[in-house]
Structure 1
Amino acid sequence: MKIIIIGCGKVGASLAELLDEEGHEITLIDNKASAIRNITDTLDVLGVVGNGACHSIQITAGIETADLLIAVTNSDELNLLCCMMAKKASDCHTIARVRNPQYNSEISFIKEGMGLSMIINPEEETATDIARLIRLPSAIKIDVFAKGRVELLQLKLPKDSILHNMMIKDIQIKLRCNILVCAVERADEIFIPSGNFTLQANDKISIVATPKNAIEFFHKIGITTTPIKNVMLVGGGNISVYLAQKFIDMGVTVKIIEQNIERCEQLSETLPKALVIHANASEYNVLLEEGILEVDAFASLTNMDEENILLSLYAQKKTHAKVFTKISRLLYDEITNEMEIGTIIKPKLITADRIAQHVRVMQNPKGNNVETLYKIVGNKVEALEFRIRDNSKLIGIPLSDLSIKENILVSCVNRKNHIIIPDGQVSLQSGDSVIIVTTNTRLNDLNDILI
């Protein structure tokens, strides 16, 4: 596809990298020549310096023959204007990043009225991810397939895990859990494991299961999943607003600590059921005085990465709460991966991932039958949901008899909303949706899994 991206910030740069890896033809537009140069020097993409809302600039970037325009500048209004100009100049699809909560109740109206393919709100997407993880506090990441009927969960095996030295094929026999281990990250190596693969403590494993079976599996391996009753959020930004509302709707008690008095007043009006505290969380004893020892979950969501890291380190030391740490600077990856700061949340990458997923699904009319796509294990593994069509070469043949490429695992089958964790005797039928986990990126059709 020919794709134009307007805005070369962290989201635009991450998105350009993801889509370039997928083999798309990318052109970037930004007012800053230095921003364009930084990306074009490292990626095989084109760059245009200028205002992405200008018709002439879009024409220079090739809007008349583009398949998709994505506007991810820091201005909601500019993003929408860029998309409107693109729709006037061509027949391409458009995606806009819109962050202001005031627009949230009108998203459907804006999307339909402007003919947008997608509107993405990074803060709301981030809040959704955190709220999903709260249900299973020991999970590092949870993605959903089949409209929530299937989950892909990542967790780290503790040193004393009963799974240590256990072969994957023995999990179902010994624990009687209907789950499938579909990926293992061990140090710098990634494995798409067979049944004979032996797990080790400190492995990061990804499993596929129904929500009910996932909870049962966590219990049986000794990881508690007690309900979250109260949370503490540090920072009163938009992520906290969306997250607090989700928690309140779940019946969870919410406390927000914010040091700006005017923002505290706004939060109190927006979230009357939350307790808003005017204080600097990094000052001596503030977190203790506000009850950090009693909370079930703690999220540091300020605009300062360094403050978030320090507060999360403190929370990890003082409590047994589920800890979330918002990180904006991607350069901190190597440092933070070695630190005990709970689950790291990166809104910029979440946004780029969601858009990349949508782009892959958009290719369906061109023969691609991907319905859902997630990049997991540091973007080194893809989990894809395919719909089985009548002409598929896989129909009616037991999985054990198929010549499937290496590093590809058929991990789940959704057959008329009945979830099957498949063994070698399962055969696929027309209309099934199938979840494939693989290190072989850029699969566009289910038939591509065959040798």
Structure 2
Amino acid sequence: MHVVIMGCGRVGASLAAALQRLDHTVAVVDKDAQAFHRLNRNFSGYRVTGNGIDRDVLAEAGIEQAAAFAAVSNGDNSNIVSARVARETFGVDHVVARIYDPKRAEVYQRLGIPTVATVPWTTDRFLRMLLPEGVATEWREPSGTVAVLQLPLHDGWIGHRVSELERTTGSRVAFIMRFGTGVLVGQDTIVQADDAVYVAALSGTVTDVTAAAQRAPEESE
């Protein structure tokens, strides 16, 4: 398929190289012709100098035949405007925009433009490398406020109700993976051995939630 990329920074150049390795045709758009020096020396796609929000520039890049469009310049506004032009004017099915400001990401998602919120995503990648397995978040909503993570539990939680776990940790159990099958929980659901418990928590509370789950539950009198 043909893919148009707006922005030839490190991400744009890397994405172009990866797509070409997968045998897709690629056009890269950037206002600065010098930016194309970042492209792999074996890059055989199109280099289009111009503003990625300009329809004529996008047309030169082959947007009318494109199956996908990625806006990865260093400007949030430029990324979202060009993404909307690709989606609404040219009818490109697969469109994504990189957003630096996580507060904007949720707004743009509501406009129907999938976004990659760079700061929360990068934070999660670092956490996956720094923290023990099972602590890093599996998913984070666009604003970065709510995270879903697999909760590492103390063995003492086996046999206790999900509702008790929620009260103790201050999180909300989203689902449980049990014997390889996802289970939606109720307040009376009991934690069983080998359950993988996934919870939703406010991003700033993830450390406290994890610490509470790794302690044995207090036994009720």
Same fold (TM over 0.5): yes
Q: Distance in 2 between matches of 1:296 and 1:370?
A: 36
Determine which structure has greater relative contact order: mean sequence separation of CA pairs < 8 Å that are 6+ residues apart, divided by chain length: 2
Of 168, 171, 174 in structure 2, the residue corresponding to residue 409 of structure 1 is: 174
Q: Which residue of 2 aligns with 1:392?
A: 155
Please tell me whether residue 290 in structure 1 is matched to residue 61 in structure 2: yes
Q: Which amino acid aligns with 2:210?
A: N
Label 1:336 to 1:449 Cα distance change in 2 as closer, same or farther (>3 A).
farther
CA shift, 1:323, in A, is: 1.1
Contact 1:232–1:255 under 8 Å retained in 2: yes
SS at match of 1:436: strand
Q: Which residue of 2 aligns with 1:354?
A: 125
Q: Which residue of 1 aligns with 2:46?
A: 275
Q: Distance in 2 between matches of 1:252 and 1:449?
A: 53
Q: Distance in 1 between matches of 2:101 and 2:198?
A: 31
- For 1:190-209, list aligned pairs within 5 A: none
Gaps of 5+ in 2: 167-171
- For 1:374-389, list aligned pairs within 5 A: 374=138, 376-377=140-141, 378-386=143-151
Contact 1:394–1:447 under 8 Å retained in 2: no
Contact 1:387–1:433 under 8 Å retained in 2: no
Could you tell me the percent identity over the aligned residues?
17
SS at match of 1:444: helix
Of 283, 287, 304 in structure 1, the residue corresponding to residue 75 of structure 2 is: 304
Please tell me whether residue 372 in structure 1 is matched to residue 136 in structure 2: yes
Q: Which residue of 2 aligns with 1:135?
A: none
Task: Tell me the TM-score normalized by structure 1.
Answer: 0.38
Q: Distance in 2 between matches of 1:383 and 1:231?
A: 31
CA RMSD of aligned residues (A): 3.4
Contact 1:375–1:383 under 8 Å retained in 2: yes
Please tell me whether residue 244 in structure 1 is matched to residue 16 in structure 2: yes
Q: Distance in 2 between matches of 1:387 and 1:346?
A: 26
Q: Which residue of 1 aligns with 2:198?
A: 436
- For 1:50-449, list aligned pairs within 5 A: 229-267=1-39, 269=41, 271-317=42-88, 318-330=90-102, 332=104, 336=108, 338-340=110-112, 342-359=113-130, 361-362=131-132, 370-374=134-138, 376-377=140-141, 378-386=143-151, 392-395=155-158, 397=159, 402-405=160-163, 406=166, 407-413=172-178, 419-422=180-183, 428-429=192-193, 432=194, 434-439=196-201, 441=205, 442-444=208-210, 446=213
CA shift, 1:436, in A, is: 1.2
Gaps of 5+ in 1: 1-228, 363-368
Q: Distance in 2 between matches of 1:370 and 1:257?
A: 39
Matched positions, count: 201
CA shift, 1:295, in A, is: 1.3
Q: Which amino acid aligns with 1:261?
A: A
Q: Distance in 1 between matches of 2:49 and 2:67?
A: 21
Q: Distance in 2 between matches of 1:421 and 1:275?
A: 45
